[in-house]
Amino acid sequence: MSITGMNTKKRVVVFALSIYGLVIFSKALGHIDEAVSDLFDWLDKRVPLLRIWGAIAYAHLLVLR
């Protein structure tokens, strides 16, 4: 099956797994610089987007108050 025959959700999963494979396996083999590794560590420590979108979703209730 080619990627053109897949639905959108499967395409996103394939894309995410390919990026994951590029980052994790090359990191395990030692092909990623420390700067790139620090960047991914910094991104992991950020506030999850779900909390931000949750705050935005309830912002209109605070305005009405």
How far apart, in whole angstroms, are the C-alpha atoms of residue 21 and residue 15?
Answer: 10
Structural contact between residues 11 and 3, judged by C-beta atoms closer than 8 angstroms:
yes
Q: Which domain holds residue 48?
A: 3-64
What pLDDT, in 10s, does the model give residues 17-37? Answer: 777 776 666 666 666 667 777
Residue 14 or 43, more confident: 14
DSSP 4: G
At residue 10, the pLDDT reads 80
At residue 3, the pLDDT reads 56
- Size (the chain), residues: 65
Total domains present in the chain: 1
pLDDT band at 1 (very low <50, low <70, confident <90, very high): low
pLDDT higher than threshold 60 for residue 65: no
Chain mean pLDDT for the chain: 66
How far apart, in whole angstroms, are the C-alpha atoms of residue 18 and residue 34?
Answer: 21
